[in-house]
Structure 1
Amino acid sequence: MTLPWKQLLLLSIIDCLAECLDSGSFHGPRWRMEPSDLFIPVDSMEEEATLTCDAKGIPPSQYRWSLNGTLINLELDHRRRLSGGNLIIRSLDRYQDGGRYQCTAYNTMGAVLSRRASLQFAYLDHFKLHTRSAVSVREGQGVVLLCGTPTSSGDLSYSWVFNEYPYFVQQDNRRFVSQETGNLYIAKVEPSDVGNYTCVVMNSITKGKVHSSPTSLVLRKDGVMGEYEPKIEVHFPDTVPAAKGSVVTLECFALGNPVPEITWKRANGVPFPSKVKMKYSNAVLEIPSFQQDDTGGYECVAENKMGKNIATGRLAFHAKPQWIQTMRDTALAIEERLHWECRANGKPKPSYNWLKNGQVLITEERVYVDNGVLLISSLNLSDAGMYQCVAENKYGVIYFSTELMVLASSPDFTGNLLRALLKAKAGTIVTLECKPQAYPTASILWKKGNQPIHTNDRITLSPDGTLRITNVTKYDAGSYTCFARNRFGTSSTTGRLLVTDPTRITQGPVDMEIIVGESIVLPCQIACDPVLDVFFSWAFNGQLITKTDRHFELVGGRTAGDLMIRNIQLNHAGKYICVVDTDVESLSAVAILIVKGPPGPPDTVAVEEVTDSTAQLSWSRGRDNGSPITSYLIQTRTPFTVGWQRVDTVPEVIDGNTLTATVVDLNAWVEYEFRVVAKNSVGVGEPSPTSLQTRTEDAVPDAAPTDVGGGGGSRSELVVTWELCFTPSLFPRNCRTVRASVTLSRSVASVR
């Protein structure tokens, strides 16, 4: 059945939109800058006010503004205009322009609301012009002078002028100016207090000041006020709400005679932390950076010798909402289910609303909204757009924005086609995945050739479209096609399965023993299906052998990957693995190569005990290099020998397990050096390092001199000669002639 052209066009648009959304080409507005609260001095109202608003989006965002919930019609409003997303207001009017503003950013993908921002005007009106009545009190009596603050907007601060400017009332334990009411309190009036008092009010934003009419304070003539107990005139409310992180100040001041002393304490008895400050003779308690631990009851105690008075109140913690759980941008297929949940902390506990494109969502049909949870069953295209979770309590409101993309498209295999040719070894498991991109999820049908495939004891069709064939045979070879269908269309992908015979290693390497310097070939030959691509590689002691090592060379043809090793060295001993990789499997064969060579040199030759004819030696075993050490030889040299000579030892033959021996038939009083040589079935190894030079002990001569003779010499001198011979066993007979001169005198003959 042919679809009408309008329906075809709609499906085309849906497909394009889904593709663009999926690739991130289009997206709804995301806030870069939201409006902030503004406090503008009234005397600056000739200037412009700008409320910022900027969001990125594709297509670019557009903007509209509302004031106190009512949309501002910028076409009819000559004082307000947009610059980008910013709202600019000129010729400011505090009666028309004050209020709560909110910006909406929107494009074709949806709309989001900004945070609410207030525009307020700071001002301070003048005091009413009238004469204030004098206040008459007795000496020693307490008094309160009222400021009577004029109408204003913005934070105010108060001070009092005494008699004339610039003499201000200095606060101490007897006088206090409340920054809550502006009133001046004098705990106990003294004669020096008589005079005129003027209240001065300053707006901290406009910096403007106004002065009240003066109030005269006079003393009555009917005597002095007697002593009386404290009366607290300045105290904090029963409950004081305090925001997290704010600076909290509590005021407490009492009238009394004598002047009362002010102290503070917490109702729970816990001492004040170091951050708490007392000001103006303890009339003000200040808590910077208020936290929940600071909540609870507080007591102000005013006391003099006549008694005491106590004022109590409670600090209650509150905090505007802060997000602890939010959502991410989400793309779901048409007919799927959406579940979002947002959570915020705050005190009191926040309430929640959900907005879609700036409009409040309520529970209806497919949509369920409750306490931060949004559920939409069976999504349709109209559900796409920008959503906001709104958390609010009496101290603040916060917004979190996210985008829902509803995807709708016919099946598409572009990114996940079946392999054109898939090779598999007979007897293995073959898995063919059919995973088209489709919204909603497509139904899947498999065919081999033109025949539908059904589940049996070897074939499994998974719900996700995967085809699994176990114990595959030649019969399973052929063309496989996956068909995917949803309500927007049909698509397919085809691949061919080729089943091959198993590959076998017909001749692999075997364990071998070889002598250093020889060359060998380790065989690795296979029989395989001719359609397979084969690749041979070798590993030696876990490391892949590369062409950079001149000792190794891979030789052979398509079905042989023999490894030739030339001029084998001791370090070539170890584990060799031939790895055969084909399109469908990987095989390996292992051989251990033992390389034999003459022993390594013994180590640490030590001379432990020496006599006039023997020396006891010890040494450490060296490497046997693949063949056990069979025996050791000991060699020595002296200043009387040429090169190293073998010596006699006890035992006469030193076997490979013996590491000590005694050298015999040495000569007395001769310096010797020793070294040890190891021997195995391959040959004689390198000698050990030379021992330290050692001298044998001295001994009595074992032969008399021979060939004694004389003659010659000068007058009164006789020359005597004889021959002295050494008969050592370590070098040839050695004789030397000795000459001596005899000096003759009448009484003494000396020989030299």
Structure 2
Amino acid sequence: MQNGTYIDLTMSYHYRLVGGSLAINNPHTKQDIGTYQCLATNSFGTILSRKAKLQFAYLGHFETKTRSTVSVREGQGVVLLCGPPPHYGGIVFSSEFFPSISWKRSDGHPLGWKIKHYKSKAVLEIPDFQQEDEGSYECTAGNIRGRNIAKGQLIIYALPQWDIKIQNAYLSLYDNLFWECKASGKPSPSYSWLKNGQPFVPEERIQIENGTLTVTMLNMSDSGLYQCVAENKYDTIYTNAELRVIAAAPDFSKNPVKQISIAQVGGEVTIECKPNASPKAVINRIKGTNILQQNKRVFMLEDGSLKIYNITKTDAGAYICIAMNQFGIARNSGTLIVKERTVITVPPSKMDVTVGESIVLPCQVSHDLSTDVVFTWSFNGDVIDFTRGVNHFERIGGESVGDLMIRNIQLHYSGKYVCMVQTTIDSLSATGDVIVRGKSIKEYNFPVVVPTHVNGGGGSCSKLVITWESVPEELQNGEGFGYIIMFQPLGSTTWMKVVVASVETSKYVYRNESITPLSPFEVKVGVYNNESEGILSSISIVYLGEDEPQSPLHGTGIQEGYLVLYWTDDSKETAASKVSINGNVTAKNITGLKANTLYFATVRAYNTGGTGPPSAPVNITTKKSPNITWTVTNSKICLNWEHVKTMENESEVLGYNIFYRQHRQSKTHILETNNTSAELLVPFEEDYLIEIRTVRDGGDGSSSEEIKITKMSNLSSQATKSSELVVHVVTIGVMILRCILASSAL
């Protein structure tokens, strides 16, 4: 096709078809210029190729008309334009005064590293043009006569490229077709569809939306070659696929029913029936001469399969699958064989034996006589290989017996033994524990106990600290008792061994400065005496010590927390109070501070390697606390205090709780009030301790200092005392810590 019109190759010698290629003899500009497409057709349909454009390159002559004279004053610049003649294709200019040329981006960004120049920098090439290369560019040309600047804008565009292509579809009659094609490009491409080379028009069964095609209730006429076309202003691309609508009678040749299915009594089985059929076949089942019906045990699945639960011996027999559609009928059959279940009748049991004895662990089964049984034993998770000639283990018994004999049993054969039974249709297992005990001390004196709680870690840098629980004297089994420590870096194959002769010790420290802090080690600990060595413990993972923190907040290794020290101006830092904070916490409330007092505070990070250096001290003065006044009689205490004003970062005070108790008594009474005064009805025979605490959204807030009111001899007296409410002190305490953390972080 040329420009959408079919080319008649029989009517002109000008065109020839060579294979699938079009040859044009002596092409002419006016006759042959345009867009060409190739149509390919076979028995399944027709597809249309992408477009190919034919252009002719040419270069005409300069105009012969004489140019007007150009006058210019001395010292001024002048431009003589060189308008090219009519042409198509690239052209090259030259001049007697060829200028020096430079390039830059108008937006100030540097030219990319991939930029290339050609023809004395007259040509700027940008390989692999990307989004970041888009923008305005300037070309500056200059020679001894002057300079000139030209600007140009580069805008990125992209040819269409397929993200999702359509694939061949082979569907049954009356099925639904859904195809999606998707392409990327700039500008975004538009989509259209072709069937056998012709535009595909939507109708009642056919929906086309952007790059999707949906055809419902397929019929034979829908078969053909389809193309999805994606197009923008720069290119057009195609993706092709065949739709073949199949209409066929049921056929079991490629997917026959399984000839023999084996199941156990009480089990379940699925017998598949999946013939090829277009459209989908209706499935019926026959056993013997009866059509199967669904019930509580028998189900017909949507895919045509038969599912039977809780199988009995009566379910055995031949099952016929009948498949039918409007094009024909087919049948295929298979046989179900039902066997007895395998049951372990005599499982291994727990046994408690003495070193040197020989024992038998039973494992006997009942099973279907037509089924072979295989017995396998494992010890502490490892399969026992009887073919390697292991002296202590032997399997005894007949076809239905898998007993295990252990001859001359030793201490290290204590553990879990599992008998595993395998048949062609099922598998099961049973477990028995064996405890092997040593002989009495008089007969058998080497140690049998294994150290427990093997652990360790911590300590300073380059130290591996290993700990365990020491063994009491009654379990040492003789003189010369000590410990064997074995350790190696995780992943190594060479164990290091150390003997510790001390009976009471429960720790060993290994030092190696060449190993990275916090490196993991495998560790195990055993015992020995004058007779022999005992059994080693299981492997534990212990980490090498780490460096102590090198700054107040940022340490090496695993940081465990912070230590806050604070003191008053009239005391020394050595007598400072301490608060320990676990975890990565960046603020701490400090309560119990004195009102209107200057405090200093520092923060130190700590980990298992120790405590790091302190931060620079910061100072702040707690605020003066409100006044509390009281009046005393022989049966009543009247309290008055100033309302607590909250700061910006504090929640509102909702009320007050008054805690009071007799001196030297632990029982405390609580009075709740929303006012700033209260009366306490108490028998005033002893001194009283009183504390006033604010109430906020989250519960109790901060409190005043504890007030001690002594018993009076007269009926009434009045005193006024100044005491702080810690709400301000708490707030200031938080500010101190945050200042420290912020300044340290800087």
In the TM superposition, residue 374 of structure 1 has moved relative to its aligned partner by 0.8
Q: Is the 8 A contact 2:396 2:403 kept in 1?
A: yes
CA–CA distance in structure 2, aligned partners of residues 490 and 418 of structure 1: 15
User: Which residue in the other structure is 1:534 paired with?
Assistant: 373
Q: Describe the superposition over 1:222-258 as per-residue Cα deviations: whole angstroms up to 9, x where unpaired.
A: xxxxxxxxxxxxxxxxxxxxxxxxxxx99xxxxxxxx
Q: Is the 8 A contact 1:423 1:583 kept in 2?
A: no
Change (3 A) 1:107 1:516: farther
User: Which residue in the other structure is 1:641 paired with?
Assistant: none
In the TM superposition, residue 265 of structure 1 has moved relative to its aligned partner by 8.4
2:92 pairs with one of 137, 147, 157:
157
SS in structure 1 of the partner of residue 249 of structure 2? strand
Q: Is the 8 A contact 2:299 2:308 kept in 1?
A: yes
Change (3 A) 1:416 1:68: same
CA–CA distance in structure 1, aligned partners of residues 155 and 173 of structure 2: 49
Q: Describe the superposition over 1:478-522 as per-residue Cα deviations: whole angstroms up to 9, x where unpaired.
A: 322221222332222222334344333222222224455554432
Is residue 271 from structure 1 mapped to residue 108 from structure 2 by the alignment? yes
User: Which residue in the other structure is 1:410 paired with?
Assistant: 249
Q: Is the 8 A contact 1:601 1:622 kept in 2?
A: no
2:418 pairs with one of 577, 588, 606:
577
1:108 pairs with one of 39, 43, 54:
43
Is residue 395 from structure 1 mapped to residue 330 from structure 2 by the alignment? no
Q: Is the 8 A contact 2:190 2:231 kept in 1?
A: yes
Change (3 A) 1:273 1:567: same
Q: Which amino acid aligns with 1:563?
A: L
Is residue 169 from structure 1 mapped to residue 97 from structure 2 by the alignment? yes
User: Which residue in the other structure is 2:21 paired with?
Assistant: 86
User: Which residue in the other structure is 1:122 paired with?
Assistant: 57
Change (3 A) 1:527 1:284: closer
SS in structure 1 of the partner of residue 221 of structure 2? helix
2:432 pairs with one of 558, 566, 591:
591
Change (3 A) 1:634 1:298: closer
CA–CA distance in structure 1, aligned partners of residues 273 and 168 of structure 2: 27
2:158 pairs with one of 304, 319, 334:
319
2:211 pairs with one of 372, 385, 392:
372
CA–CA distance in structure 1, aligned partners of residues 305 and 287 of structure 2: 14
Change (3 A) 1:678 1:134: closer
User: Which residue in the other structure is 2:495 paired with?
Assistant: none
Greater Cα shift, 290-299 or 353-362 = 290-299
CA–CA distance in structure 2, aligned partners of residues 447 and 593 of structure 1: 54
In the TM superposition, residue 389 of structure 1 has moved relative to its aligned partner by 1.3
Q: Describe the superposition over 1:187-219 as per-residue Cα deviations: whole angstroms up to 9, x where unpaired.
A: xxxxxxxxxxxxxxxxxxxxxxxxxxxxxxxxx
Change (3 A) 1:104 1:477: same
SS in structure 1 of the partner of residue 37 of structure 2? strand
Q: Which amino acid aligns with 1:381?
A: M
CA–CA distance in structure 1, aligned partners of residues 448 and 399 of structure 2: 48
Counting only pairs closer than 5 Å after superposition, residues 326-475 of structure 1 correspond to structure 2 as 326-475=165-314
Change (3 A) 1:548 1:172: closer
Q: Describe the superposition over 1:594-652 as per-residue Cα deviations: whole angstroms up to 9, x where unpaired.
A: 3455676799xxxxxxxxxxxxxxxx99999xxx95620359xxxxxxxxxxxxxxxxx
Q: Describe the superposition over 1:22-41 as per-residue Cα deviations: whole angstroms up to 9, x where unpaired.
A: xxxxxxxxxxxxxxxxxxxx
Q: Give RMSD over aligned pairs.
A: 4.5
CA–CA distance in structure 2, aligned partners of residues 437 and 554 of structure 1: 52
SS in structure 1 of the partner of residue 38 of structure 2? strand
User: Which residue in the other structure is 2:73 paired with?
Assistant: 139
Q: Describe the superposition over 1:59-108 as per-residue Cα deviations: whole angstroms up to 9, x where unpaired.
A: xxxxxxx3333333444443544444333444444444433232344443
Change (3 A) 1:517 1:279: closer
In the TM superposition, residue 340 of structure 1 has moved relative to its aligned partner by 1.4
CA–CA distance in structure 1, aligned partners of residues 93 and 105 of structure 2: 27
Change (3 A) 1:316 1:501: closer
In the TM superposition, residue 685 of structure 1 has moved relative to its aligned partner by 4.5
Is residue 557 from structure 1 mapped to residue 393 from structure 2 by the alignment? no
Change (3 A) 1:343 1:686: closer
Q: Is the 8 A contact 2:117 2:125 kept in 1?
A: no
Counting only pairs closer than 5 Å after superposition, residues 625-636 of structure 1 correspond to structure 2 as 629=475, 631-634=477-480
CA–CA distance in structure 2, aligned partners of residues 110 and 546 of structure 1: 66
CA–CA distance in structure 1, aligned partners of residues 534 and 7 of structure 2: 103
TM-score between both structures, scaled by the size of structure 1: 0.52
CA–CA distance in structure 1, aligned partners of residues 56 and 87 of structure 2: 9
Q: Which runs of 5+ in 2 are unaligned?
A: 142-147, 439-443, 450-467, 482-501, 506-526, 536-746
Change (3 A) 1:490 1:545: farther
Change (3 A) 1:563 1:687: closer
Change (3 A) 1:588 1:152: same
Q: Describe the superposition over 1:116-140 as per-residue Cα deviations: whole angstroms up to 9, x where unpaired.
A: 2223222212335x45144142426
SS in structure 2 of the partner of residue 375 of structure 1? strand
CA–CA distance in structure 2, aligned partners of residues 397 and 335 of structure 1: 33
CA–CA distance in structure 1, aligned partners of residues 350 and 140 of structure 2: 99
In the TM superposition, residue 327 of structure 1 has moved relative to its aligned partner by 2.9
SS in structure 1 of the partner of residue 387 of structure 2? coil
CA–CA distance in structure 1, aligned partners of residues 388 and 132 of structure 2: 73
CA–CA distance in structure 1, aligned partners of residues 340 and 117 of structure 2: 96
SS in structure 2 of the partner of residue 575 of structure 1? strand
Q: Which runs of 5+ in 1 are unaligned?
A: 1-65, 161-167, 174-248, 251-263, 303-308, 604-619, 636-657, 662-675, 689-752
Percent identity between matched residues is 44
CA–CA distance in structure 1, aligned partners of residues 82 and 138 of structure 2: 27
Q: Is the 8 A contact 1:322 1:346 kept in 2?
A: yes
Counting only pairs closer than 5 Å after superposition, residues 658-669 of structure 1 correspond to structure 2 as 659=503
User: Which residue in the other structure is 1:72 paired with?
Assistant: 7
CA–CA distance in structure 1, aligned partners of residues 238 and 528 of structure 2: 88
Q: Is the 8 A contact 2:446 2:477 kept in 1?
A: no
Q: Which amino acid aligns with 1:374?
A: L
1:508 pairs with one of 347, 351, 358:
347
Q: Which amino acid aligns with 2:89?
A: G
CA–CA distance in structure 2, aligned partners of residues 271 and 343 of structure 1: 38
Q: Is the 8 A contact 1:599 1:686 kept in 2?
A: no
Q: Describe the superposition over 1:382-410 as per-residue Cα deviations: whole angstroms up to 9, x where unpaired.
A: 33333221111222212222333434433
Change (3 A) 1:534 1:142: same
Q: Which amino acid aligns with 1:153?
A: Y
In the TM superposition, residue 455 of structure 1 has moved relative to its aligned partner by 1.9
In the TM superposition, residue 145 of structure 1 has moved relative to its aligned partner by 4.4
SS in structure 2 of the partner of residue 135 of structure 1? coil
Q: Is the 8 A contact 1:555 1:564 kept in 2?
A: yes
